[in-house]
Amino acid sequence: MAAGAPRVFVSHLSGVPVFDPHGDQVGRVRDLVAMLRVGGKPPRLLGMVVEVVSRRRIFVPMTRVTGVESGQVITTGVVNMRRFEQRPTERLVLGEFLDRRVRLTETDEEVTVLDVAIQQLPARRDWEIDKFFVRKGRGGALRRKGETLTVEWSAISGFSLEEHGQGAESLVATFERLRPTDVANAMHHLTPKRRAEVAAALDDDRLADVLEELPGDDQVEILGKLEEDRAADVLEAMDPDDAADLLSELPEADKERLLALMRPDDAADVRRLLSYEERTAGGLMTTEPIILRPDATVADALARVRQQDLSPALAAQVYVCRSPDETPTGKYLGTVHFQRLLRDPPFTLVSSIVDSDLVPLTPDTPLPAVTSYLAAYNMVSVPVVDESGSLLGAVTVDDVLDHLLPEDWRETDFQGEEETTGGS
């Protein structure tokens, strides 16, 4: 950017694509790295944390950034693909500056940081934090009361101290358009303090979706910092199999206390899953597949498949069972695949087009046999039926992959490389 170019507010950079000079996308901006300086000088911007296609987070120095245009960042194309690792002297602008409560030096009035502006220094490639957009009083981006103003770095104090009880509304606002797996990846790279603050700011359904994508240690840490009533609400919002996996990591007393706080129906599903061995069909299954009675039509099935909160794997087929149509069901009759639903008229009864040739799994089927079944029949989901013929649930391919991949797969990129590097 040339001298005199307009400042850029960092909230507008969250998630924007990063391109090389040829127009090929390198990745997306996930944060910016700054270093505090002595003598009252504004923090120097060291670079950007960029998430590349493999989900690896790398560091791109600002000296490699040739343009920050509307909705995109342009680099020289020469980047170090080693993993970014934050150094003690570095600060993450989105993760640590937004929502921080600081004070105006002139009046000692408390303000909350809503956004941060950066600007390139004249005739150099150096960047620094230029201004802060703040709101007077205690409250983040979602609070509408209080005067807002833009101030210089020199006009505020309080960044050199670790703040307790920092809000997270502004940071959460930058996550709105991200998928749960991307929010989970961002939270994993925050400090435990900031993870707890972000978790407190997310609503129950959003936090449940994000928890399902986090490594087990992060899940346990976050759940342990929630009030018990809220922890139970979040567990209810999670898929039962994911809630069971998380609860299985807790001490027995904590697990029972949270189950007692959950709604009885939700707790019953989770307790049933906890009764099975972890690496079996019963331990892997979800208890909430799409279940229809024999007198349901293709139109009914398609309406259920269209539900937005269903995963693609669960939406790929419906299971036809006699009443009751919640697990454990009445007699399991068969499966109708999504493609078959598209080929038949809407008024067709699902009982007339079921696939009853494939033998369902029993809950004690071991993981290798479940994997072989999915591979042999090119399935993305398979029914689990008990000895009386009732449908207990369904195992989806994503749950199988979770147990086949290394335990730390969520913390590594798709290439499996382990190199790390600092930001500067």
Residue-wise pLDDT tens digits, 53-99: 878 899 998 888 888 876 899 988 777 788 888 877 788 999 989 99
Q: What is the pLDDT of residue 164?
A: 66
Question: According to the model, what pLDDT value does residue 76 have?
Answer: 84
371 class by beta-carbon count within 10 Å (0-12 exposed, 13-18 middle, 19+ buried):
middle
Cα distances (angstroms) measured from residue 9 to each of 14, 46, 114, 211, 330? 10, 16, 10, 29, 58
* Mean pLDDT per 10-residue segment, the chain (424 residues): 66 91 90 83 90 87 83 84 80 91 90 92 80 79 71 86 69 80 88 88 88 92 92 92 93 95 92 92 92 96 88 92 93 95 95 91 95 92 95 92 74 46 48
Within 48-150, where are the H helices?
none
Q: How many residues does the chain have?
A: 424
The CA–CA distances, whole Å, from 226 to 201, 220, 345 equal: 11, 10, 49
pLDDT of residue 308: 79
Measured at the CA of 272, the angle between CA 292 and CA 282, to 5 degrees, comes to 75
The token duo for 85 is 């690792």
Tokens standing for 374? 């999915």
Q: How many CB atoms lie within 10 A of CB 157?
A: 14
3-class secondary-structure state, position 85? coil
C-alpha distances (whole Å) from 10 to each of 29, 41, 44, 116, 119 are 10, 19, 14, 6, 10
Contact 117, 133 (CB under 8 A): yes
Nearest to 218 by CA among 198, 240, 236: 198
Give pLDDT, residue 193: 87
What beta strand segments (E) does 96-158 contain?
Answer: 101-104, 110-120, 127-136, 148-152, 156-157
Decide if 283 contacts 276 (C-beta within 8 A).
yes
Q: Name residue 421's beta-bridge partners.
A: 84
Would you state the pLDDT for residue 129? Answer: 92
Task: Say if residues 360 and 256 touch (Cβ distance below 8 Å).
Answer: no
Q: Are 48 and 128 in contact (CB under 8 A)?
A: no
- Token pair listed for 198: 């972000």
* 297, 407 contact by CB (below 8 A): no
Backbone angles phi, psi at 107, to 5 degrees: -115, -10
Least Cα distance to 44 among 115, 99, 118 occurs for: 118
User: CA–CA separation, 314 vs 317, rounded Å?
Assistant: 7
pTM of the model: 0.65
End-to-end alpha-carbon separation of the chain, Å? 21
pLDDT at 163: 64
C-alpha atoms less than 13 angstroms from C-alpha of 93 in its C-beta half-sphere:
32
Identify whether the C-beta of residue 377 lies closer than 8 Å to the C-beta of residue 369. Answer: no
Q: Write down the pLDDT at residue 340.
A: 94
Say how far apart CA 93 and CA 405 lie, in whole Å. Answer: 33
Cα–Cα distances (Å) from 31 to 51, 155, 224, in that order, read 9, 24, 27
Residue 32 pairs with which residues in a beta bridge?
48
270/235 Cα distance (integer angstroms): 9
Give the model confidence (pLDDT) of 319-336 as tens digits.
999 999 889 999 999 999
Closest residue by Cα to residue 259 from 117, 251, 391? 251
